[in-house]
């Protein structure tokens, strides 16, 4: 992970010096995620329900930026939330591999 960070920094340091500095300043908090397989890392950073919900709200806002009343806005937000929660029950891709990795890393803490 650190070699990849050095490579990215060499490329982007001139354009984004503050962002590159933050990566190095926070490296101790960032690097533990690299002990997981790529599939596990993807699940960790892509299943954030709040981000999913915010994306649904942004989509709603793009489709209709003016609502006739506060009640109409609340109804639209409710329906958008309801639709977003349907996606949260979908199975995760490669779940068997991911669960196996968690069982190895956290032996005895997960049900079989």
Using pLDDT thresholds of 50, 70 and 90, give the confidence band for residue 11: very high
Record the pTM.
0.49
* 75 neighbors 11 (Cβ within 8 angstroms): no
* Mean pLDDT, residues 28-43: 84
In terms of pLDDT, which residue wins out, 88 or 99? 99
* Mean pLDDT, residues 4-32: 92
Using pLDDT thresholds of 50, 70 and 90, give the confidence band for residue 18: very high
* Mean pLDDT, residues 24-49: 82
In this prediction, residue 47 carries a pLDDT of: 58
DSSP class of residue 97 equals H
Q: What is the mean pLDDT of the chain?
A: 85
User: Concatenated DSSP letters for 17-75?
Assistant: HHHHHHHHHTHHHHGGGGGS-HHHHHHHHH--HHHHHHHHHHHHHHH-S--SSHHHHHH
pLDDT score of 14 more than 90: yes
């Amino acid at each position: 992970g650190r070699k990849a960070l050095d490579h990215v920094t060499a490329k982007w340091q001139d354009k984004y010096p503050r962002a590159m500095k933050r990566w190095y300043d926070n490296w101790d908090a960032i690097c533990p995620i690299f002990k997981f397989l790529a599939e596990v890392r993807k699940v960790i950073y892509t299943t954030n329900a709040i981000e999913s919900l915010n994306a649904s709200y942004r989509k709603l806002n793009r489709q209709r930026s003016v609502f006739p009343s506060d009640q109409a806005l609340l109804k639209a937000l409710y329906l958008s939330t309801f639709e977003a929660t349907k996606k949260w029950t979908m199975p995760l891709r490669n779940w068997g591999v991911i669960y196996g990795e968690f069982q190895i890393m956290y032996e005895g803490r997960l049900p079989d």
